[in-house]
């Protein structure tokens, strides 16, 4: 069993670490001050992504992407996760369902998105629908040769950096007919209500939208009527791996800072790392990072190896659950080791502490992940998690 990172993946990890340090790092305090990446900085960062070779890291070369394996993607994502204020999203990952679109949709949306010429955001959550997508109230009705979409969407991430939206709606209000639609901005009947501020600063915004009879041509229906939830689930699998990788990178950076501080901070005549209370926090955190890294790259390798998607979906839930809660614990300990310094906004650990909290909520809460895992154990047996297949 070879547990080493393949050479190309290691090279990509090194490149991503340099990109994080040299391009994203200098922007961290700027984003924290403004609450988002200022508009004048965006073209420069987009060009830096292209020059680094990270344009469309999650799609095939035939569609203008990088053609990276999942292991290679996770090697990159882990390093990007070191950046605070969601700056990792400056490296674009076009929505996964686009690869299952028509050839015309790939030409109009996927290929230019991989090049960084377009960008899409995903609108699924609503005031009354989050963990349970069957509660979505946004409807799509076929009338006069067009689909007419009406509803309200919340937490539409990167709205202000996107020029099109993928909207999850129920045809004729039927939750068994969940369907995805591509809407170009601006659009008749599509209104940006507001972009609320959140606990963390973020590279782009999280918007609230209203759709009032928004006309959409059938050529902009993504997938078949009723296929929307399955397309969204496939997207969730990959985003849950991305979140896990970001959590790993964030926790590792926080622990590195805490470890260095513990070695140099002298109290009562000796470095604070020599006190058992501190060294045990460092030890516990190192073990949790080690376990997360092992789990992340195992699941990535299984996805690359073609393991059944249902089993991958089950394991991705376990990975996302563990990684997001692990990061919360490790970063909390790291802040405690730093003491008052860790509570200052100029310290990366303080920003990571705010950043990482959302990872237990978005793309499926910790409670939803536990429900998925328990359901999979009931359906497939404990061996799904304790065995090797």
Domain ranges within the chain, ordered by starting residue: 7-114, 120-225, 229-386
Q: Quick one: pLDDT at residue 232?
A: 84
Cα–Cα distance measured from residue 156 to residue 167, given in angstroms and rounded to the nearest whole number: 10
Look up residue 374 and give its two tokens. 């328990």
Cα–Cα distance measured from residue 274 to residue 266, given in angstroms and rounded to the nearest whole number: 10
Q: Quick one: pLDDT at residue 130?
A: 85
Q: 15 or 2: whose pLDDT is higher? A: 15
Closest CA to 23 of 51, 50, 45: 45
**Can you tell me the mean pLDDT for 47-67?**
97
Asked if the model's pLDDT at residue 58 lies above 90, the reply is: yes
Asked if the model's pLDDT at residue 185 lies above 80, the reply is: yes
Q: Quick one: pLDDT at residue 235?
A: 83
Q: Cα 308–311–313 angle (5° rounding)?
A: 110
Asked if the model's pLDDT at residue 388 lies above 90, the reply is: no
**Can you tell me the mean pLDDT for 364-370?**
95
**Can you tell me the mean pLDDT for 327-333?**
98
Q: Quick one: pLDDT at residue 142?
A: 98
What CATH number has the domain spanning 7-114?
1.10.540.10
Phi and psi dihedrals of 386, rounded to 5?
A: -95, -15
């209104």: which residue's tokens?
Answer: 191
pLDDT band at 177 (very low <50, low <70, confident <90, very high): very high
User: What are the start-end ranges of the H helices in the chain?
Assistant: 7-19, 28-34, 42-52, 70-80, 103-105, 111-114, 228-264, 276-304, 309-338, 348-356, 366-380, 383-386
What CATH number has the domain spanning 120-225?
2.40.110.10
**Can you tell me the mean pLDDT for 294-323?**
95
Q: Quick one: pLDDT at residue 233?
A: 82
CATH class of the 229-386 domain in this structure: mainly alpha
pTM across the whole model: 0.96
Asked if the model's pLDDT at residue 329 lies above 90, the reply is: yes
Do the first three CATH levels of 120-225 and 229-386 match, i.e. the same topology?
A: no
Asked if the model's pLDDT at residue 1 lies above 80, the reply is: no
């993928």: which residue's tokens?
Answer: 166
- The burial of 62, by beta-carbon neighbours within 10 Å (0-12 exposed, 13-18 middle, 19 or more buried), is given as exposed
pLDDT band at 85 (very low <50, low <70, confident <90, very high): very high
């Amino acid at each position: 069993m070879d547990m080493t990172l393949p050479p190309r993946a290691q090279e990509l990890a090194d490149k991503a670490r340099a990109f994080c340090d040299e391009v994203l790092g200098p922007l961290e305090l700027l984003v924290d001050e403004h609450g988002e990446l200022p508009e004048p900085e965006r073209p420069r960062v987009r060009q830096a992504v292209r020059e680094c070779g990270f344009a469309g890291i999650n799609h095939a070369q035939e569609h203008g992407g990088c053609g990276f394996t999942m292991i290679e993607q996770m090697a990159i994502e882990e390093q990007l996760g070191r950046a605070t204020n969601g700056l990792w999203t400056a490296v674009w990952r076009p929505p996964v369902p686009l690869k299952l679109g028509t050839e015309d949709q790939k030409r109009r949306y996927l290929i230019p998105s991989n090049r960084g010429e377009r960008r899409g955001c995903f609108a699924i959550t609503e005031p009354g629908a989050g963990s349970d997508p069957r509660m979505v109230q946004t409807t799509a009705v076929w009338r006069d040769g067009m689909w007419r979409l009406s509803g309200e969407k919340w937490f539409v991430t990167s709205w202000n950096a996107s020029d099109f939206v993928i909207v999850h709606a129920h045809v004729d209000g039927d939750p068994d007919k969940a369907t995805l639609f591509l809407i170009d901005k601006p659009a008749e009947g599509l209104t940006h209500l507001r972009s609320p501020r959140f606990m963390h600063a973020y590279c782009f915004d999280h918007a609230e939208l209203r759709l009032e009879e928004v006309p959409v041509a059938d050529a902009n229906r993504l997938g078949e009527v009723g296929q929307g939830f399955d397309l969204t689930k496939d997207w969730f699998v990959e985003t849950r791996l991305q979140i896990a990788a970001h959590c790993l990178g964030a926790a590792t950076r926080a622990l590195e800072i805490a470890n260095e501080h513990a070695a140099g901070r002298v109290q009562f005549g000796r470095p604070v790392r020599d006190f058992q209370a501190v060294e045990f926090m460092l030890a516990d955190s190192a073990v949790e990072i080690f376990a997360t890294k092992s789990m992340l790259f195992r699941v990535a390798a299984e996805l690359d190896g073609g393991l059944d998607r249902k089993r991958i979906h089950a394991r991705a839930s376990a990975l996302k659950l563990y990684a997001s809660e692990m990061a919360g614990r490790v970063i909390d300990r790291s802040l405690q080791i730093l003491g008052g310094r860790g509570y200052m906004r100029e310290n990366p650990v303080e920003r990571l502490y705010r950043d990482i909290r959302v990872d237990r909520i978005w793309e499926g809460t910790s409670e939803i992940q536990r429900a998925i895992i328990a359901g999979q154990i009931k359906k497939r047996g404990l061996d799904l998690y304790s065995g090797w297949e």
